C-alpha cells in the first residue's frame, strides 16, 4: 500500500505538470490550482489511512508534515500572487514537479524502510511494563571520549506490571546484550515473552557499539565509525590475519564484558543495599525502576545475546552467579585466548554453566566445516567441553532472523542478512526455546530438550 500511495502522489504531480504545460498559465491561476492539488494529495493520504499499511505512525510523519507545509505555503503564495498575470514558465513547472517527487520520496523513506510492527503475541499471563535508566561506571573512563567522562551503560527493564500479585516476590533476572551496531530493542519480542511469563529482563546498550543510544546529558550517542569499519573489514574478508582479528575482537569483548559485568554487579548491589548512587534515573521512572529492581532474584540469573552480544553472554556466563546462558548466532570470541601458528587457541576449561547455542544455517555449516577440516573454532570447543551444552540451528535462517529486524524492517534485514525462513515463525520458535530453556534452568520447570534443527 505504501508503494501504491507513492505512485498515486507521483501520478498527481505528473498529470498536474502535464496539464499546466499544455497551455500558457498565469502565475495566479497556477498557484490556485497548485493549492487544490496539494489539498487533493492530503485527501488521498487521509483516505488511504483506512487501508492496511497506511497509518499516522512515525513512518508517515515526514509525509504528513510535507503535505501540510505545502498546503500552507501554496495558500500564502495564492494570496501574494492573486493579481499576478505573468505566465508560469514551462521549465519552472518541470523543475517544480521533479523537486516535488523527490521530496515525496524522501519524506516517505521511513514508510519504505520500516513496517508497521506492533510486536508478537506473548504466551504469559502478565502485562509487561517498561522503564529505563543509565548506570554510571565510575571505575572506567569512556575510551571513546577524551573529556574524562565515565563509562555510561543504559539499561532497559521489561517486567510484569502486576508485580504485587506475583506469588513469588522475586523473579529470575535475564540480561540481554545486542550485536554489533545493534540496538537494545533488537529482540523486544523475546523480552516481552519472558517478562509476560514472570521474568525481569534487562536489555543493555553498549554505547558506541550500539547504533544509537542516549547519555546522561540527553545527547544521542551514535555508533563509532571506526568500530563499524573494523567490523565490516573483518566480517567481509577472509584475508585479514588471525592475529589482527584476535587483537581487534579482544578489544571489543573487553569493553562488552566490562559493561555486562558492571550491570550484573550494580543490580545485585542495589537489590541488597537499596542505593542508587550509580544510577541516572529520570524522575518519572524512579518508582518503576525501584519496582523492577525489587522483583529481581539475584540467585537466579540468565544471560543471552545476539551475535557479539551472544559472545559476551557466553564469556560473562562463566561467573559462578550465572545459572544459564543463550547465544543467538554469535561466534564465541571471548573464549579465544590467543593465536598460535596462524590458528586461534580457545579456553579449554570446561564450561559448567548450562548453555544453549542457536545458529543460522550458514553458521551451522561453518561449524561443521571447521570440525571436518581440523580448524579450531571456539563454538565447537566450548560446546564439546560444556557440562550441559545444547546446540541447534534453523534451516533457511540467516543472522538477522534471530532478531525482530525482519519484522520491523525487511529492507534493512535483507541488507544485513536475512534468509528464506518465514520471519514470524522463526522468531516465535526462537522465543519458545528461550523461554523453555530459562524455565528449566532458572525456574526448575521440566527438562530441556532441543531438536537438531528447526
pLDDT at residue number 22: 79
Total length of the chain = 454
pTM: predicted TM-score of the whole model, two decimal places: 0.85
Alpha carbon distances (Å) from 338 to 247, 248, 347: 9, 12, 9
pLDDT at residue number 238: 73
pLDDT tens digit string along 116-159? 778 899 999 999 999 999 999 999 999 999 999 999 999 999 99
Neighbours of 14 (CB within 10 A): 13
Nine-digit cell at 103?
Answer: 521530496
pLDDT tens digit string along 338-360? 999 888 999 999 999 999 999 99
Mean pLDDT of 410-438: 93
Model confidence at 432, in pLDDT bands (50, 70, 90)? very high
Judged against a pLDDT cut of 70, whether residue 25 lies above it is answered with: no
Alpha carbon distances (Å) from 94 to 22, 97, 156: 12, 5, 50
pLDDT at residue number 116: 74
Q: What is d(CA 355, CA 346) in angstroms, rounded to the nearest whole number? A: 17
Q: Identify the residue with better confidence: 58 or 289.
A: 289
Closest CA to 392 of 427, 435, 359: 359
Amino acid at each position: 500500500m505504501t508503494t501504491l500511495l507513492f505512485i498515486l502522489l507521483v501520478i498527481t504531480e505528473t498529470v498536474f505538470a502535464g496539464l499546466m504545460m499544455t497551455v500558457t498559465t498565469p502565475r495566479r491561476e497556477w498557484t490556485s490550482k497548485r493549492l487544490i492539488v496539494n489539498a487533493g494529495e492530503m485527501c488521498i493520504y487521509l483516505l488511504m489511512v483506512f487501508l492496511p499499511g497506511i497509518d499516522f505512525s512515525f513512518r508517515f510523519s515526514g509525509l504528513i508534515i510535507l503535505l501540510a507545509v505545502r498546503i500552507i505555503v501554496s495558500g500564502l503564495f495564492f494570496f501574494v500572487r492573486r493579481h499576478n498575470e505573468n505566465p508560469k514558465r514551462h521549465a519552472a513547472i518541470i523543475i517544480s514537479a521533479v523537486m516535488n517527487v523527490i521530496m515525496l520520496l524522501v519524506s516517505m523513506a521511513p514508510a519504505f524502510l520500516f513496517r508497521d510492527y506492533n510486536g508478537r503475541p506473548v504466551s504469559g499471563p502478565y502485562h509487561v511494563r517498561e522503564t529505563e535508566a543509565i548506570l554510571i561506571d565510575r571505575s572506567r573512563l569512556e575510551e571513546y571520549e577524551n573529556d574524562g567522562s565515565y563509562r555510561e551503560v543504559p539499561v532497559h527493564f521489561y517486567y510484569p506490571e502486576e508485580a504485587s500479585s506475583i506469588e513469588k516476590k522475586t523473579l529470575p533476572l535475564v540480561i540481554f546484550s545486542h550485536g554489533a551496531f545493534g540496538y537494545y530493542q533488537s529482540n523486544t519480542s523475546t523480552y516481552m515473552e519472558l517478562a509476560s511469563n514472570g521474568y525481569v529482563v534487562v536489555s543493555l546498550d553498549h554505547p558506541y557499539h550500539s547504533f544509537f543510544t542516549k547519555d546522561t546529558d540527553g545527547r544521542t550517542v551514535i555508533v563509532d565509525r571506526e568500530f563499524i569499519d573494523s567490523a565490516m573489514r573483518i566480517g567481509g574478508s577472509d584475508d585479514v590475519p588471525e592475529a589482527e582479528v584476535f587483537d581487534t575482537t579482544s578489544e571489543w569483548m573487553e569493553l562488552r564484558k566490562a559493561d555486562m559485568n558492571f550491570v550484573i554487579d550494580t543490580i545485585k548491589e542495589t537489590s541488597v543495599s537499596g542505593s542508587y548512587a550509580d544510577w541516572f534515573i529520570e524522575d518519572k521512572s524512579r518508582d518503576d525502576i525501584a519496582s523492577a529492581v525489587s522483583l529481581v532474584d539475584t540467585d537466579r540469573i540468565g544471560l543471552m545475546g545476539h551475535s557479539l552480544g551472544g559472545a559476551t553472554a557466553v564469556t560473562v556466563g562463566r561467573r559462578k552467579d550465572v545459572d544459564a546462558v543463550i547465544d543467538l548466532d554469535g561466534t564465541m570470541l571471548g573464549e579465544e585466548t590467543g593465536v598460535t601458528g596462524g590458528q586461534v587457541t580457545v579456553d579449554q576449561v570446561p564450561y559448567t554453566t548450562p548453555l544453549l547455542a542457536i545458529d543460522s544455517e550458514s553458521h551451522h555449516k561453518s561449524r561443521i566445516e571447521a570440525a571436518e577440516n581440523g580448524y579450531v573454532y571456539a563454538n565447537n570447543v566450548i560446546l564439546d567441553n560444556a557440562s550441559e551444552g545444547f546446540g541447534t540451528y534453523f534451516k533457511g535462517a540467516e543472522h538477522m532472523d534471530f532478531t525482530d529486524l525482519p519484522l520491523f524492517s525487511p529492507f534493512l534485514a535483507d541488507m544485513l542478512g536475512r534468509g528464506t525462513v518465514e520471519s514470524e515463525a522463526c522468531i516465535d520458535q526462537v522465543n519458545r526455546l528461550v523461554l523453555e530453556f530459562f524455565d528449566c534452568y532458572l525456574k526448575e520447570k521440566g527438562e530441556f530438550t532441543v531438536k537438531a534443527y528447526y
